[in-house]
Copies of this chain bind each other. A is one copy, B any other.
Amino acid sequence: MDGRPERMKLEVTALKKYSLGIDFGTLSARALLVEVDSGREVATSVSDYRHAVIDEALPATGAKLPPDWALQDPQDYLDSMAACVRDVMRQSGVDAADVVGIGIDFTACTMLPIDASGAPLCFDAAWKANPHAYVKLWKHHAAQPEANRINETAERTGQDFLKRYGGKISSEWFFAKALQILDEAPEVYKAADRLMEAGDWVVLQLTGRETRNACTAGYKAMWEKASGFPPNEYFRALDPGFEHVVDEKMSRDIAPIGAKAGELTQEMAALLGLKAGTAVAVANVDAHVAVPAATVTREGIMVMIMGTSTCHMVLGREPKIVEGMCGYVEDGILPGFFGFEAGQSCVGDHFAWFTENCVPASYEREAQAAGISVHDLLSKKAAALKPGQSGLLALDWWNGNRSVLVDADLTGLMLGFSLNTRPEEMYRALIEATAYGTRVIIDAFQNNGVAVDEIVACGGLPEKNELLMQIYADVTNREFKVAESAQTCALGSAMWGAVAAGAANGGYDDINEAAAKMARVKDRTFRPNAEAHAVYDRLFREYLLLHDHFGRGANDVMKRLKAIREEQS
């Protein structure tokens, strides 16, 4: 590392303390073991969920699921966690006693009904045939009718909380999903002792103690530090049986970000190959833990986690109302700040869809002949195009629109096709559309008093798609820095794990210290090209016209088509 003799290095290593981050994604869990003092990533391991996303049929019965459903099996979380944690410990050779803290982050709102013992209802033979007994994954979009009711009722009864969330609650959020259970499976709702975020449920498994983290409570369950949850009368207005949802099925005891949830139980320590008593942080949201891991601990710097979807986070000192944002929560990302969050519900998923459905066999053969991947071939061809050269323009709504329109019923659009249109042009148009979607979000923040002076990207896309990063820089006319870690979520969780441990136990006492020591950005950044930006500026105006026409009610054709689609399915 630096020329010191081998033996000294070993001694230094022996003094090291480690922190473990576990990032629960949409398809897999990832464990990352990190040196507390340097942030050096010692070992990482990924374990795919056995059932991945359950969106076609329930494995237990084979019964077909309706459109827009997306479930998971919570046993997969435990199994994948055990597999990847054991693997990093094995790889690293680190002594479990030197792991000072554990942090976990999770997709959100990903929630499930559990019984009084903390076991998921779907583990019970009596309930395993009922799809409502399973985890409803963040991208379960079938609670849109409930979300509509939540929004209409909130407007009608003048609820304050709406304004914190850009005026609209998403079908992805906690109460929409909870209300769908009550609507469609009141027996499941009744049988559930509690309804819980999956992240909090995993912490419950790890520590034996129930905690509810402020981040998901704030961002996904309309809770705020000052006033708590919406009043019971509001829930009653949604459904008389829903009046006491908070007291009967949840908890008003909300744990702040960075707090220690408890200590690892004997049983879980054995399962994971760790030491009982290790500090465990309260759960957090995958996106949010990436903020300090991307070096950001102050206002004005947007962190974008870019993967299958993109999450945009900025810290600010004051509450601000921004249309269609996913919410602002006091202390929701870092203590002492209002954490603003927006999102694009489909980014990398567009490219995966495209690669699976629209890349012709001739391209596969061309890639094979050139000894490169289909994705690299597409990128190479797309990179050779100039902005606007394809004549194509798309709306990046293959999975609805989260910010700023908050509408899961919007669908994708592409126009400008000619008989000369080639796959790489469509591919590039999809990338560009997601960049325009990001610009809409940045502009919404800026125009409403939430400064976005710098941007740091992280997640899978910045690691593997330089063309995309350059297009984002050109479309937004901003420099994009990239977090050094390829796994900022897991790193962020490990940082929070170190904070849960505290300095006295070899961790840190606050997240600023942790970020200063453990987080970095790469030297390589993406700077806008003025000429490209000038063209993208014109194209963005066209995007906005379409965005507003189809997204703000001038022509609700997308919703009507979706309604016909559902009738015919």
Contact = CB atoms under 8 A, between A and B. Distances in A.
Interface in A323-367: 346, 349, 353, 356-364
A569 interface: yes
Nearest to A557: B542
A428 to B, nearest CB: 12
A68 to B, nearest CB: 9
Interface in A520-569: 535, 538-539, 542, 545-546, 549-550, 555, 557-558, 560-562, 564-565, 567-569
Interface string A384-404: 001111111101011100000
A423 B423 CA distance: 13
A382 to B, nearest CB: 14
Given A361-B359, A387-B568, A390-B565, A415 B413 contact: yes
A357 B357 contact: no
A414 B413 contact: yes
Nearest to A543: B557
Main secondary structure of the interface of A (DSSP, over half): mixed
Copies of this chain per assembly: 2
A413 B411 contact: no
A546 B542 contact: no
A412 interface: yes
A3 interface: no
A535 B358 contact: no
A95 to B, nearest CB: 44
Contact of A419 (B353, B389, B546, B567): B353
B388 A353 contact: no
Given A389-B565, A391-B562, A564-B539, A412 B417 contact: yes
Given A412-B415, A565-B389, A361 B360 contact: yes
A353 B421 contact: yes
A418 B398 contact: yes
B391 A417 contact: no
A464 interface: no
A422 interface: yes
A57 to B, nearest CB: 14
A93 interface: no
A393 B561 contact: yes
Interface string A361-382: 1111000000000000000000
A422 B354 CA distance: 10
A423 B546 CA distance: 24
A538 B557 CA distance: 11
Given A357-B360, A398-B419, A421-B357, A564 B388 contact: yes
A62 interface: no
A419 B555 contact: no
A100 B116 CA distance: 96
Contact of A415 (B392, B418, B557): B557
Nearest to A564: B388
A37 to B, nearest CB: 43
A63 to B, nearest CB: 18
B419 A411 contact: no
A388 B566 CA distance: 9
A414 B411 contact: no
B557 A419 contact: no
A416 interface: yes
Contacts of A422: 357
A542 B557 CA distance: 6
Contacts of A549: 549, 555
B567 A358 contact: no
Nearest to A365: B361
Given A360-B359, A361-B359, A388 B557 contact: no
Given A360-B361, A545-B555, A568-B386, A418 B399 contact: yes
B545 A564 contact: no
Contact of A360 (B358, B392, B393): B358
15 contacts: A357-B360, A388-B567, A388-B568, A389-B569, A397-B417, A398-B419, A412-B421, A413-B413, A413-B416, A413-B417, A414-B414, A415-B557, A416-B562, A542-B560, A542-B561
Which are the 4 A-B pairs with shortest beta-carbon distances? A412-B417, A391-B565, A413-B415, A388-B564
Interface of A: 67, 346, 349, 353, 356-364, 386-393, 395, 397-399, 411-423, 535, 538-539, 542, 545-546, 549-550, 555, 557-558, 560-562, 564-565, 567-569
